[in-house]
A and B are shown apart, each in its own frame.
Chain A
């Protein structure tokens, strides 16, 4: 399976210009969605059928802190004028939707908040996602970002054969 990661504290704007550059909405995303977006770009950039609508690919995002970094920004904005743009990212599953929208994936999208990084639990949940007949591959990501500058960001592109072997 293909694996990519983004080092903690990396310049995400620079990375965006390097791996994408054609999706200005990126700059409106919270750090969780930015990382999910970039990880997926890195995973699927060389696919020949990129951007063809598909229902057979799932997006499964795991984290410990969810969207807490953005939640803090939103809470701070409430002291003055609550920001609608921050509010829309106060759910940890938005990242999965952002990835699906960008790539035209209409398969399962799920976001799990785990107590800690637990490899066994994570891959057991991934296997569950393949129990339907539709899912043939999945973008799986562990993105844990307690702040805008500190994170763990790893992603894998996995196939049904690799997961259910």
Chain B
């Protein structure tokens, strides 16, 4: 799981242009959205949805579903591990 978390961190940094950030800077249990953690916004949710489909063949039906999946990097990794198609 740690390997997948690290892989996801790298993909998120690249997809969201998180300039100057390294995987070590991201607390895997911190919230991805809101004032704490990475402070991502609604457009970032859409980018993450694209990231899951492109890299893991996972299609989220709605951005609302993403709200649960993208709670933290650790939650996201668990979801990817359980639902990936590639």
Contact = CB atoms under 8 A, between A and B. Distances in A.
B47 interface: yes
Nearest to B54: A81
A81 B17 contact: no
A83 to B, nearest CB: 7
B43 interface: yes
Contacts of B43: 28, 84-85, 88
Nearest to A26: B19
Given A80-B54, A81-B53, A81-B54, A24 B47 contact: no
A85 B50 CA distance: 11
B51 to A, nearest CB: 9
B60 interface: no
B81 interface: no
A81 B56 CA distance: 13
A83 B44 CA distance: 10
Interface residues of B, number: 11
Contacts of B53: 81
Nearest to A21: B20
A39 B50 CA distance: 32
B30 interface: no
Contacts of B18: 24, 27
A13 B17 CA distance: 12
A72 to B, nearest CB: 18
Interface string A50-85: 000000000000000000000000000000111111
Interface of B: 16-19, 43-44, 46-47, 50, 53-54
Given A27-B18, A83-B47, A84-B46, 17 more contacts: A24-B18, A24-B19, A27-B17, A27-B19, A28-B16, A80-B54, A81-B50, A81-B53, A81-B54, A82-B50, A84-B43, A84-B47, A85-B16, A85-B17, A85-B44, A85-B46, A85-B47
Interface of A: 13, 24, 26-28, 80-85, 88
